[in-house]
Amino acid sequence: MSSHKSGFVAIVGRPNVGKSTLINALIGEKISIMSPKPQTTRNRILGVYTKDDYQMIFVDTPGMHKGKDLLNKTIDKVAVSSINDVDVVLFVVDCTKGPAEDHIIDYFRGLKIPVFLVINKIDELKGKSGIDEVILSYLGSYEYEGFIPISAKDHTYLDRLIETLVPHLPEGPLFFPKEMKSDQSEQKMMSELIREKILFHTEQEVPHAVAVVIESLEENPELNTVDVSALIIVERSTQKMILIGKNGEKIKNIGTEARKEINSLLNTKIHLTLWVKVKKDWRNRPQDLKALGYGDE
């Protein structure tokens, strides 16, 4: 009888290359928010993939980049430290962009674990020759264990990705219950879904200046709903005005979209109330960052 295997697989790369889209596609459920804006993910998020004879725990991480404020420095640390406690690294790149990741590759040097180059967004390439060119452009940068082209969006070659990873898992027990898919609490997922809708509805500095916390959750047995009150924190009153929008239209749309997705994703019928509050310079204040759940977990 073959023994059971289990291990951790970090998903790292620049912002916006499709790391969260990949973890969601692998797990088959939305556990990590996604958006066309860079710096969407701010925490380490586990996705648990369990089969009869192995358990693979994927670790979604914030995009690695050299941010100026303390929030970005803090979340970059989360990403960088994630490669130290895993069995395999998936280094995800966007094949429509040229290589510009020397600062990330430097972190791989000295690692004793395999690093695979995952070439994402191949649906955007015209033919196979395009993939060869991308591989060539990364070939000399590091001794990768292998090159895996995929489309996270279209779920292309994800089976092959899993098959490639299994031999690299060490022998080990189940780390999480079989039916568990993620370490995200429902409450955290709610605040993240609200933030995701904000990312879609705002531009420039606003999406990055926003944090969301759930203030209260109260069951309403009469209506069989949960009353959720969430606080959206911004840095300036101008950002508050932008978020609220003309006649409160924008915040209303954000709330409606978030509520609908929370209802269907978490299977909880909620009644959502959103509040916007200005907290000056929260992104540079260690205490605020900690209170908002950013940093060491």
Ligand X SMILES: Nc1nc2c(ncn2[C@@H]2O[C@H](COP(=O)(O)OP(=O)(O)OP(=O)(O)O)[C@@H](O)[C@H]2O)c(=O)[nH]1
Note whether 59 and 75 are within 8 A (CB).
Answer: no
Residue 104 one-letter amino acid: I
DSSP 8-state symbol, 204 = T
Q: Name the residue among 165, 181, 191 with its Cα closest to residue 42.
A: 191
**Residue of the chain from 5, 19, 197, 259 that contacts ligand X (CB under 6 A):** 19
Which partner from the list ligand X, Mg ion, none does 182 bind, CB cut-off 5 to 8 Å by kind? none
Note whether 205 and 196 are within 8 A (CB).
Answer: no
Phi-psi region of 279 (alpha: psi -120 to 50; beta: other; left: phi over 0): beta
Rule CB under 6 A: is residue 82 a binding residue for ligand X?
no
**Residue of the chain from 34, 57, 169, 258 that contacts ligand X (CB under 6 A):** 34
Which partner from the list ligand X, Mg ion, none does 57 bind, CB cut-off 5 to 8 Å by kind? none
Task: Tell me the Cα Rg of the chain.
Answer: 20
**Residue of the chain from 39, 41, 151, 182 that contacts Mg ion (CB under 5 A):** 41
The span of 37-45, 125-133, 177-185, 186-194 binding ligand X (CB under 6 A) equals: 37-45
Q: Smallest distance, Å, CB 120 to ligand X?
A: 5
- For residue 126, how many other CB atoms are within 10 A of its CB? 6
Rule CB under 6 A: is residue 77 a binding residue for ligand X?
no
Rule CB under 6 A: is residue 152 a binding residue for ligand X?
yes
Note whether 89 and 111 are within 8 A (CB).
Answer: yes
Which residues contact Mg ion (rule: CB under 5 A)?
A: 19-20, 40-41
Which residues contact ligand X (rule: CB under 6 A)?
A: 15-21, 34-36, 38-41, 62-63, 120-121, 123-124, 151-153
